[in-house]
Amino acid sequence: MLNDRHILLTGAARGLGAEIARGLAAQGARLILADVAEDEGRATAAEVGAAFLPVDLGDPAAIAALGAAVAERTGGGLHGLVNNGAIATGIGGIGFEDIDIDTWDLVQRVNVRGTWLMTRACAPMLRASGSGRVVNVASDTALWGAPNLLSYTASKGAVMAMTRSLARELGPDRVGVTAVAPGILTTESTEYVPEARHRLYSEGRAVPGPQGPGEITDVIAFLLSEGALALTGQVLPVNNGFVFK
């Protein structure tokens, strides 16, 4: 499905990102992985036969440098960007009145501004490919209003809104922009989540039980394909039916 399509995946070092990398590699994608965690990122890249480039999504200069390096590696044509990199751990479990302002700003800087700047850096290459696709990894917490997680849910709500606007701005160039909104997945990034929240998802899904990260990778692979343009602007809850939209 993705044979010979150049795909850039951020946040690829571990957890969901590493699982997405494995899934896309199995579909034949020519992957470039990026992450701030360089050692783990290089290990994942070696596992799936991909290139690795470092990036700090909180640093505009680092994002611009990554874009330039990707352009050099791909000859200026990029078929897909998966904006998966984000701060997701260590920021929940407290009420909105107790969130530290610096933490709030950091989450928005990486999750929201980083997604915008990464898309901006890749846009010329996505246009040049003739069939560019952007998949933003959001979260269904912003769809059902998860409590005690406001900095994160706000950031992922912003990612959904950007998805819709970017779809209209890039659509005339036949670049499709979509978002996936998973629920709690069985990854290391959700180990800190209280058992009651895990149980809420397991028991509330239309398909009951836990959901592994591998269960959403085929959806992401399809959204990166040439045939997915008709879905541009859509936010897809990939949560086994916990939230219907």
Helix (H, G, I), strand (E, B) or coil at 178: strand
The secondary structure element, H or E, covering residue 203 is helix 195-204
- Catalytic residue (one of 52, 152, 201, 222): 152
Phi and psi torsions of 15, nearest 5°: 55, -135
Category of 77 on φ-ψ map: left (φ > 0), alpha (ψ -120 to 50) or beta: beta
> Tokens standing for 122?
């890749």
Q: For this structure, is 192 an active site residue?
A: no
Residue pair 48/13 in contact by the 8 Å Cβ criterion: no
Give the separation between CA 198 and CA 191, rounded to whole angstroms. Answer: 10
> Tokens standing for 31?
């992957």
Helix axes 214-223, 15-26, angle to 10 degrees: 60
Q: CA quadruple 19, 25, 29, 31: dihedral positive or negative?
A: positive
Residue with tokens 């399809």: 222
Give the separation between CA 7 and CA 242, rounded to whole angstroms. Answer: 29
CA nearest to 209, candidates 243, 241, 180: 241
The residues annotated as belonging to the active site are 152
